[in-house]
Amino acid sequence: MPAPNEITAAQLLRRIGLPDAPVLVDISIDPDFEADPFLIPGAFRHPHTDIPGLIERLAGRPAVVTCQQGIKLSQGLTAWMRSEGLEVEYLKGGNYGWRDLDGAPRVPASALPARVAGSTLWVTRHRPKIDRIACPWLIRRFVDPSARFLFVSPAEVEGVAARYEATPFDIEGVFWSHRGPLCSFDVMLDEFGLRTPALDRLSTVVRGADTNAHDLAPEAAGLLALSVGLSRQYRDDTQQLEAGMAMYDALYRWARDGADETHDWPAVRGQ
């Protein structure tokens, strides 16, 4: 009989990437993590001994705790968190169970930029349209939910990156940017190990819209239109990003669950 406070890797896979996904906490001890230095998408590491710090960090949000095998560390900490009134589950089988699940992406820890004041910090050109909204969505949903983004004048991106220890993206000459026919969104999928059927489908639409290659996917022209319209609605780039998050949440669910659905008129009776 399953434990009432456990979640399987297959169940967790369905929840990752959604706006209401649980907080993911990796409490593997250092030797275990160094032997297999990968994270479940969106997870952050936290020492299992720092109970008060984790309670503060969760701030009452539902969470899933994982360790190497999902045994004593994660089950013990989960029980402790639940005794504090928090909605916490442990991952059955731990990181090894996730690793063995077909289609479950893993983020290499070496690909993650250094954190600044507890979060990854990114900087790009102001007045975003496509890549500069799609990439932050991907990062917040699959890499670092607490990531912060700075939008500045194009000429100042690299200078701001240097002064504030931020990671520049989607400008020429930096690591996180276009490579050949690939847009920055594609590059992040590759570097973060996030190639899944749903994100691949979404990336084709983003690439088509961002590089004016609308023949790649019929949805690309629609994404361009929505992105231009969104940018005209907001003067504040941060407000635009928050609105764009909902748009990409919908596109991801289409790519994951609804790409085969069509609509026509007149409607078929009974449907």
Rounded CA-CA distance 132/151 in Å is 9
**Domains (range + CATH), the chain:** 6-107 (3.40.250.10), 112-258 (no CATH)
* Contact (CB, 8 A) for 213 and 207: yes
- Is the CB of residue 194 less than 8 Å from the CB of residue 140? no
Predicted confidence at residue 3, as pLDDT, reads: 76
Instruction: State residue 4's pLDDT score.
Output: 78
Q: Kindly report, residue by residue over 121-148, the tens digit of the pLDDT.
A: 999 999 999 999 999 999 999 999 999 9
Spatial contact of 26 and 67, defined as CB atoms under 8 Å apart? yes
Measured in residues, the chain has a length of: 271
Tell me which residues of the chain have a pLDDT lower than 70.
1-2, 268-271
Is the peptide bond between 266 and the residue preceding it cis, with omega within 30 degrees of 0? Answer: yes
CA 129 to chain centre: 19
What is the predicted pLDDT for the residue at 178? 98
∠ CA(94), CA(14), CA(116), 5° rounding? Answer: 65
Q: Residue 157 and residue 139: Cα distance in Å, rounded?
A: 19
* Contacting residues for 45 by C-beta, under 8 A, at least 6 apart: 25, 26, 27, 28, 33, 39
For residue 270, the model assigns a pLDDT of 57
Question: Does this model's pTM top 0.85?
Answer: yes
pLDDT of res. 268: 67
Q: What's the rounded Cα separation, in Å, for the pair 38 and 163?
A: 29
- Which pLDDT value is given to residue 266? 85
Q: Which amino acid is at 13?
A: L
Residues 157-201 have pLDDT tens digits of 999 999 999 999 999 999 999 999 999 999 999 999 999 999 999
Tokens (6 digits) for 187: 């590059």
Helix, strand, coil abundance in the chain, percent, nearest 5: 45, 15, 40
Amino acid making up residue 140: R
